[in-house]
Amino acid sequence: MFDSQINFGLEDDHPHEECGVIGVFAPNEDVARMTFFGLYALQHRGQEAAGIAVADGQTISMHKGVGLVSQVFTSNTMAELKGHYAIGHTRYSTTGSSLLRNAQPFMIETIHGPLALAHNGNLVNSMELRNELMQHGIGLSSSSDTEVMTMMLARNGGASWEERIKTAMKKWVGAYSLVILTRDCVYAVRDPWGFRPLCIGLLPSGGHAVASETGALQTLGCEAIRDVKPGEVVSLSNNALKVMQALPSVEPSAMCVFEHIYFARPDQTWDGINVHQLRQRLGEELAREISIKMGNDVGDVVIPVPDSSVPAAIGFSHVSGIPYNDGFIKNRYVGRTFIEPTDSLRKRGVALKFNVIHENVLDKRVVMIDDSIVRGNTMGPLVKLLKNAGAKEVHVAITCPPIAHPCFMGVDMGRHEDLIAHKRTVDQICDHVGADSLYYLSIEGMMRAVGREDGFCQACFTGQYPIQVDLSNVKTGFERGAKS
């Protein structure tokens, strides 16, 4: 539908969630339209491709394309998606890989009937599984592990889709939160480690919906929302909600801590933890740690890098006593344009995406709160913007520990050599970005804010992966390019 989105240096320096998924069973409702609005609520999880597949009890119809949800779907395309069952997907991919062939859901015809699948996560053994399929003469049209999962389900034996899913799960190693569509059912599947979120709720008109975040379910009016538990397969059909523990859950679980730090919408509640409140506690813990080192007199104003850092900046201000104010105004649309800027505008870089409110930083010692530094590409330009606007000093405070290791569980953080904290010390990073000082929250402080000592994956900070990873046989999201 669209050419690949133009990337001209405006993409922020945060880790990127790979996608969001949704599934709906709603008899006598326009499930395609419901799925569309659910995807709208998940748009922050992926802005490069979207798709919806709908089943009517006999066949599956699908539409997908490259672009935002509102760009991919029109009234005409929605009118062709008829049925009672639907799944949807919104996707993030790395630069240069926004190809229609990698958009989801994936759909095929099988001996058991039509099948469509949408995936959030990454299998660490996908190369092994891919080779196994090809050795059996099964051709693959994309580089996505989602297609591998779809083909594995298609060739599995068993009397029911539940049995085929359970058989496949025994071979899948890694992160997967799935929505699977057959002619007469939607299945929600979560890996036994619980890496990625997936939640389910009761629709007010009957039926159920499942999605990556509770906010999408609330948009549809869902009640009685709960998480799909690690290792569960939940069936949404005319036979009502059916739950099967396909694999035993792994203890402790390995939920992605970055869902709370950055990815999720503030109104998301995951495993009983509200994202907004947790981010505020991250800021409070960061203020306490800095005060131990430097005292509270480290700045005159606290400002967030919008938007995910706003709650943390509020918490930091509350504990430190330093006044909170807005410093940056963010243009939320410039990074999503399909029109390439001129050379002179391209040189403006981050300044095209952020404007500074001069009066709020002029002659002040600014404490700038952000949730992460990954490659270190945009922090320097942000510091420079503040100093050019008249800030006397700029002190950078990050609400997580240094990211020194790549993620293999479905998050684009780049390779070891791409990560600035893998190559430089904190003091060296501070010099690199031009800040007057730089502080990271400790792992202990982060987990105090979470409220638990374990149950979360911290591999990007520690290099200790919950699953054994063969670095020679697995790729990061940055290297995969085409990603689920």
Active-site amino acid positions:
19
C-beta separation of 57 from 84 below 8 A: yes
Cβ atoms < 10 Å from Cβ of 338: 12
| Amino acid occupying residue 443 | I
Question: In Å, how far are 85, 235, 266 from 215, measured between CA atoms?
Answer: 20, 21, 9
Rg (CA), the chain: 23
C-alpha–C-alpha distance, residues 354 and 381, integer Å: 10
What residues form DSSP beta bridges with 223? 202
C-alpha–C-alpha distance, residues 32 and 55, integer Å: 10
Cβ atoms < 10 Å from Cβ of 451: 11
Token pair, residue 211, equals 């999605």
For the chain, the first-to-last Cα distance in angstroms comes to 19
CA within 13 Å, CB half, 360: 18
Token pair, residue 405, equals 């290791």
Parallel/antiparallel/unpaired status of strands 208-211 and 301-304? unpaired
Cβ atoms < 10 Å from Cβ of 446: 24
C-beta separation of 199 from 226 below 8 A: yes
The angle subtended at Cα 345 by Cα 343 and Cα 349, nearest 5°, is: 105
C-alpha–C-alpha distance, residues 277 and 157, integer Å: 46
Token pair, residue 440, equals 């990271």
Q: Which of 374, 310, 384 is nearest to 354 (CA)?
A: 384
C-beta separation of 253 from 455 below 8 A: yes
